[in-house]
Structure 1
């Protein structure tokens, strides 16, 4: 057979139940190289009629032979336990059966990857290289599973999970809108790590000074402090605190920054004289600028502008610049069309200016609508990137707190997802659902397990309703710890007589005989009503019990144990029973 060197990638790692995605990708590569991939996408057609031509019969025979060859190639790259179940199937039917068999494996792998990625943080003392490579591995794994994350989202998530030592680096990165790839960010972080000063043991030195400060002014014991280099310390009985020099002042940190208000380089908007003066005027006049473009709401303002112009059928003025004026000998219709377009463009420009604060109007009043929008995008591009970074950071850090209702938690997470969508970086539905599930409290572990087991694939709204129903069915937690603590604290007084006059009040006749408050009797939790009644057994496929309680599975374990045979692969294949 041809292309033996390419086929070797299938022989190196056979399909064993845990590597279906890698095996399927290698199979596609081999069959595309041999121009036989269509056998996986199309089933074998019906046999030609008896009176068909020789060419039709030969084409059908050739296709049957190729399909048989592909099926044998697939079987040869599997472990024997899978071969037994699939050896009588054609290539198309075999692949369809394998996809059904391992579909849940891919979904569970995606959930575990998202959970690990979401929980990954740079630990204290961990090198930045190992941290970035670990995060990149999770991103590559999601890409391999068919759910790639946009480059800018991946970079933002890596930046948000860095340790506090890199806060200045993250601030500079966002300020200058670098927009690097993960590989470029990795190199920048390694350089930043090399330039960081090593931490001195400041806390230990201070603690030493505090501990020995009680001996200040006392004479040293005879013979102490007289060694080489200790002449000065001989006069003191404590180690003085080391003098730590103050950090060097930054040299004009805003010297390369563009002001978001006036567009001048050299200062931030919070220090802009024109901006501060405008705030004073607006405050004095009582005018509201919340809906006008003011430097902080460019994305919302631009969205409202698009809505208005689409309603008036003038949105094209933002996408196309004004053409050149027609020639002198142009027809009247051409000149009239140009004049009408100039008037509309001027009208759009005036509408845009009227919806801005005065400081922006001064800089943009002489521009046409198309040029004005282009200038605004350059001016506020960094604002959008910073907003995306802040949203990703908050989303990544969001967890369901103890006692927080599941509705408020899901709505908060959905708000972050909607915000990323509004900024132009939507997250796939299944990734959003997985991130919401991974950040639930431990009370919902059973819910998450059932959700992944049944591969529900719900939308966020449907998941929200399911979580609300699960929350209603949860028993309320009794204050067990408080009751036990009360009993333990007062147990030392058990058997002692009460002080005179105590415990004689109304309703305290029984307590008068005891000097401690007994622990309240807490009823045991109600037993669940057949928790496996809707569960499908992963061994025999019958509904109503788990695999660990399956009679057929337990009987097979006994037989295998008696014969000494290895059951690790057989147990894996038993998850997906197949009726030949």
Structure 2
């Protein structure tokens, strides 16, 4: 696993751990250096959380949040955001055929995760649908109002969260990452630069020098990388 892919996976899994309440795994996965075993353990823990929170009609938002993180961690979420490629004939370029086959294989896996995580009643209603995207589209029609309310609450929580002087920057960052991830799951997309800007704006005056240097130097970091730098600044 490359360093960039590892950082992306760790970011997803930390957010999943926050969402699922598996806080005990966060320090281990943050300090692991390219440790695929740690990542595998956390994926298993989050999948267990999905099993323990099967989707029934009242808990759609919580279910969707955890399921999305699991599908991302096991690298099949992309089928929910990408239309099915055509299954080209043997005369088509190999990369086109490979992509189509990959999509259909990952879609089948995503369907299994989605259906397994539903109550029996909802499962029976969605078995046999053409794709995982169709299943999620139907669920959005059934429970969309819950999604809209949860998005409003998450936005309000994000913009009102400010770090208090004397508290740990890690705790504050994990809270911010949780809100940002929740908004992404709920359909309110923020690009990486905007996410970092919101985090920097939430820091107390003791981090003013760091923020000024970040902006003047035109730095660019992922949230996990930013967290590491903020912790180093906190220790000075």
**TM-score when scaled to structure 2?**
0.51
Query: Equivalent of 1:179, from 212, 220, 229?
Result: 220
Query: Equivalent of 1:157, from 171, 180, 198?
Result: 198
Q: Distance in 1 between matches of 2:123 and 2:147?
A: 20
CA contact (8 A) 1:159 1:170 kept: yes
Task: Trace 1:329-408 onto structure 2 (pairs within 5 A).
Answer: none
Q: Distance in 2 between matches of 1:27 and 1:180?
A: 24
Shift of 1:22: 4.3
Match of 2:88 in 1: none
Q: For each residue in 1:62-109, what CA deviation from the matched residue of structure 2 results, as whole angstroms up to 9, or x when unmatched?
A: xxxxxxxx89x9488306xxx2x8857764399465332211111111
CA contact (8 A) 2:53 2:117 kept: no
SS at match of 1:125: coil
Task: Trace 1:212-361 onto structure 2 (pairs within 5 A).
Answer: none
> How many aligned positions are there?
149
Gaps of 5+ in 2: 1-43, 85-110
Q: Distance in 1 between matches of 2:70 and 2:233?
A: 43
Match of 1:141 in 2: 182
Q: For each residue in 1:404-439, what CA deviation from the matched residue of structure 2 results, as whole angstroms up to 9, or x when unmatched?
A: xxxxxxxxxxxxxxxxxxxxxxxxxxxxxxxxxxxx
Match of 1:192 in 2: 233
CA contact (8 A) 1:9 1:26 kept: no
Q: Distance in 2 between matches of 1:76 and 1:142?
A: 21
Match of 1:122 in 2: 163
Q: Distance in 2 between matches of 1:27 and 1:192?
A: 32
Query: Equivalent of 2:129, from 79, 92, 103?
Result: 92
Query: Equivalent of 1:18, from 37, 49, 59?
Result: 59
Q: For each residue in 1:434-468, what CA deviation from the matched residue of structure 2 results, as whole angstroms up to 9, or x when unmatched?
A: xxxxxxxxxxxxxxxxxxxxxxxxxxxxxxxxxxx
CA contact (8 A) 1:117 1:138 kept: yes
**Relative to structure 1, is the Cα distance of residues 89 and 129 closer, same or farther in structure 2, using a 3 angstrom cutoff?**
closer
Q: Distance in 1 between matches of 2:208 and 2:66?
A: 42
SS at match of 1:92: coil
Gaps of 5+ in 1: 42-69, 196-580
CA contact (8 A) 1:15 1:23 kept: no
**Relative to structure 1, is the Cα distance of residues 109 and 176 closer, same or farther in structure 2, using a 3 angstrom cutoff?**
same
**Relative to structure 1, is the Cα distance of residues 172 and 28 closer, same or farther in structure 2, using a 3 angstrom cutoff?**
closer
CA contact (8 A) 1:75 1:87 kept: no
Q: For each residue in 1:209-261, what CA deviation from the matched residue of structure 2 results, as whole angstroms up to 9, or x when unmatched?
A: xxxxxxxxxxxxxxxxxxxxxxxxxxxxxxxxxxxxxxxxxxxxxxxxxxxxx
**Relative to structure 1, is the Cα distance of residues 10 and 132 closer, same or farther in structure 2, using a 3 angstrom cutoff?**
closer
Shift of 1:141: 1.2
CA contact (8 A) 1:143 1:149 kept: yes
Q: Distance in 2 between matches of 1:190 and 1:23?
A: 27
CA contact (8 A) 2:169 2:234 kept: yes
Q: Distance in 2 between matches of 1:189 and 1:88?
A: 48
CA contact (8 A) 2:196 2:222 kept: yes
Q: Distance in 1 between matches of 2:51 and 2:177?
A: 28
**Relative to structure 1, is the Cα distance of residues 184 and 88 closer, same or farther in structure 2, using a 3 angstrom cutoff?**
closer
**Relative to structure 1, is the Cα distance of residues 136 and 26 closer, same or farther in structure 2, using a 3 angstrom cutoff?**
closer
CA contact (8 A) 2:115 2:127 kept: no
**Relative to structure 1, is the Cα distance of residues 15 and 164 closer, same or farther in structure 2, using a 3 angstrom cutoff?**
same
Q: Distance in 2 between matches of 1:26 and 1:134?
A: 16
Q: For each residue in 1:38-78, what CA deviation from the matched residue of structure 2 results, as whole angstroms up to 9, or x when unmatched?
A: xxx9xxxxxxxxxxxxxxxxxxxxxxxxxxxx89x948830
Q: For each residue in 1:458-499, what CA deviation from the matched residue of structure 2 results, as whole angstroms up to 9, or x when unmatched?
A: xxxxxxxxxxxxxxxxxxxxxxxxxxxxxxxxxxxxxxxxxx
Q: For each residue in 1:511-569, what CA deviation from the matched residue of structure 2 results, as whole angstroms up to 9, or x when unmatched?
A: xxxxxxxxxxxxxxxxxxxxxxxxxxxxxxxxxxxxxxxxxxxxxxxxxxxxxxxxxxx
| Greater RCO (CA < 8 Å, at least 6 residues apart) | 2
